[in-house]
Structure 1
């Protein structure tokens, strides 16, 4: 009876042992491995204290790795992973008379870095250049897709499936000819590369690189700002600031062009300040932006308000005239802003302002005296010149003609009747033979 129990126990232990012996490989599923990385495949057993392990490929190719056995597990290490490691691997474990096998598929790929953007020459506005997007060490390269974008707009794309498969990593590229414009300044060029292998699970399958376009161009949009304004009073201050855009940044210079046509270099600073402005600072100021791709100029006309100076007068016919004559006062004065000349007569009690510059008027004896010719403008002070005019008073002569005529008229009224009587008496005397005025009888009147 005891022998029967012992036999049953042995059989049961054997059954339990055989059922407990198992094998597995981790990772559980097919393994994507990037070329150049390190990969470990672990084969482990349960239900056996001292299993024996062996590794091989499906086609009995070299393992391309090293095996390490540690108790109930065995590790196949591939460091680094190469294209030769792309196989189906089998792990065999034996425990006594039992043998178990498990397989795992290793698929390799290479997509190790982001694309690289290269530009053949410096980008100059209006000049051709090549932009190249490169993807280094890619595998399988025939599965690669690439495209170039500018600010989200596709410039070009390329797929490499037509080039066929290879057994090595390759660098693939996409090149486009590009003519930059001013509108491209500062825009982003992006290279997008994809390795869309659906049967393999790895990340990332998409990589991209962006680069801002650095486009060279000559100076443009050159401007000059003037503070406080382009018109400044003598003795004041003015600041002129020049701004010019270009790549590389333009070098600024200031030049003054005088009225005579002469040019004078002033400064290489963007800001030009003139303190205590003088009359000779008036003129045309030129700001110029320069780089190796061109130059651009901007000018500003600086007006300096100078008070009227050197006011002079010309009196015609002279400053000594007879009363009743016409006299013309012609005034000249210097000022870079058109002055207004106001003739004034100075009198102890009041000042008379004449009509206008170059005033012509008929003088009287009251015009004798001192006159001021004042040149002024609205922005600056006045300048005055003094002249003195002498008016000779006209002497009036007595008129005797009218009294004589009046007397003669009165006498004629009396003389006419007397003359008539005298003629009558004379005729009568002739008739009588003699006549004497003395002895003639007085007429009865």
Structure 2
């Protein structure tokens, strides 16, 4: 065992060198460790300190392989320039001889290839509860065993994959295949693929582009009272964020009342009832959803018309029409003071035919439109002229 005696000996040598003025030659190599991309150049410098004579330098590969590089010596400094680093480049050893003393040091080289961001094909759509096959390809990487691929939905990690070590002695593409089933809670969050190189903690991330999937509306109640306002918001998941347009079926132009993904119906009228379509689209695809807008309120004043023109005489045939152009209503057509009526719910018109009209058929006829919000009527007084025998 050496212990205190060895330490004392070292201190004694240092004191002796100080007294005699001699310095022990030292060798420095920079950088000691290099992490470098395939195809780049690397310069390593080897320097002798406190060498009283011109030192000689020898550069070798750590594995004693042929070292192809440019070497430039300047007094007690030697520069090694390695151009176009390949995956087969090895750590190097600098050996110097100074006044018959041999010194050597290593410079460790780690080579990698990670030139591009991951590539994700465009995804037609991501629909809740439907499995989707996702593919992320990281081009031209090396060495595989130092990489990890991770899938994200928003900030949530979905899947981690350590890369296959087979055939990892070359620059190559690597594809991660992940079967993913979106949930409703995932809507609005982007899908991304992150590739990490552990050598230098280098990260590259790509966000997937996908077309609109599930299209939803903000309210299940699409009824509006006459004269009031209705707003329906359309939501669609996609990247880039889908553009939203509303159409009323049967019309060719988007609704001017739509803004910020909303269909806005102000001062609702009967003509605004019907089917509306929300169209969500981006550069990947499009999806549509239809909703039925129902306008409710008291019926309009119905119309009552007589088929006969001019003076009405006994024995003539007539028809009485009762119609309504408002919202859903039950129509009835009947003679005042009589309970008999013709008509029914949700009919836009009713008809009463009278064959060979008689004086007893004269009177006031009523056209009635009725629903849960009110009742409106129109009346017509029918007179019949008696034909006298000559």
Distance 1:116 1:384 in 2: 74
- Where in structure 2 are the equivalents of 1:211-290 lying within 5 Å? 211=207, 214-217=210-213, 219-221=215-217, 230-232=225-227, 241-246=231-236, 248-255=242-249, 265=251, 268-269=254-255, 270=258, 281=270, 284-290=273-279
Structure 1 residues 144 and 230, CA gap change in structure 2 (3 angstroms): same
Structure 1 residues 308 and 119, CA gap change in structure 2 (3 angstroms): closer
Structure 1 residues 69 and 184, CA gap change in structure 2 (3 angstroms): same
Structure 1 residues 155 and 285, CA gap change in structure 2 (3 angstroms): same
Select the residue among 110, 113, 117 that pairs with 2:112.
110
- Where in structure 2 are the equivalents of 1:282-361 lying within 5 Å? 284-290=273-279, 292-303=286-297, 306=300
Give 4+ residue runs of structure 1 displaced > 6 Å after superposition.
224-227, 272-277, 307-310, 334-338, 382-385
Q: CA deviation at 1:154?
A: 3.3
Give CA-to-partner distance per residue, 1:358-416, whole Å, 9 cap, x none: 69xxxxxxxxxxxxxxx9x9x99x9999x9xxxxxxxxxxxxxxxxxxxxxxxxxxxxx
Select the residue among 132, 142, 154 that pairs with 1:139.
142
Which has the larger helix fraction? Answer: 1
Tell me how many residue pairs correspond in the alignment.
297
The root-mean-square deviation of aligned C-alpha atoms, in Å, is: 5.1
Distance 1:158 1:335 in 2: 69
Give CA-to-partner distance per residue, 1:237-280, whole Å, 9 cap, x none: x665554334654542225xxxxxxxx64852135768897xxx
Structure 1 residues 241 and 149, CA gap change in structure 2 (3 angstroms): closer
Q: CA deviation at 1:50?
A: 5.6
Which residue does 2:200 correspond to in 1? Answer: 203
Q: CA deviation at 1:300?
A: 1.6
Distance 1:266 1:134 in 2: 42
Which residue does 1:101 correspond to in 2? Answer: 103
Which residue does 1:191 correspond to in 2? Answer: 193
Q: Which moved more, 1:132-141 or 1:66-75?
A: 132-141
Q: CA deviation at 1:146?
A: 3.3
Distance 1:154 1:283 in 2: 46
Q: CA deviation at 1:221?
A: 1.9
Distance 2:148 2:325 in 1: 77
Distance 2:135 2:29 in 1: 42
* 3-state SS of 1:142 partner: helix
Q: TM-score, normalised by structure 2?
A: 0.56
Structure 1 residues 250 and 64, CA gap change in structure 2 (3 angstroms): same
* 3-state SS of 1:51 partner: coil
Give CA-to-partner distance per residue, 1:80-123, whole Å, 9 cap, x none: 333343133123244xx434321214232315357514136423
* 3-state SS of 1:217 partner: coil
For CA contacts below 8 A with separation 6 or more, give which structure has more relative contact order.
2
Q: TM-score, normalised by structure 1?
A: 0.50
Distance 1:60 1:282 in 2: 89
* 3-state SS of 1:20 partner: coil
* 3-state SS of 2:273 partner: strand
- Where in structure 2 are the equivalents of 1:356-375 lying within 5 Å? none
* Structure 2: gaps of 5 or more residues: 1-15, 281-285, 305-321, 330-335, 339-367, 382-390
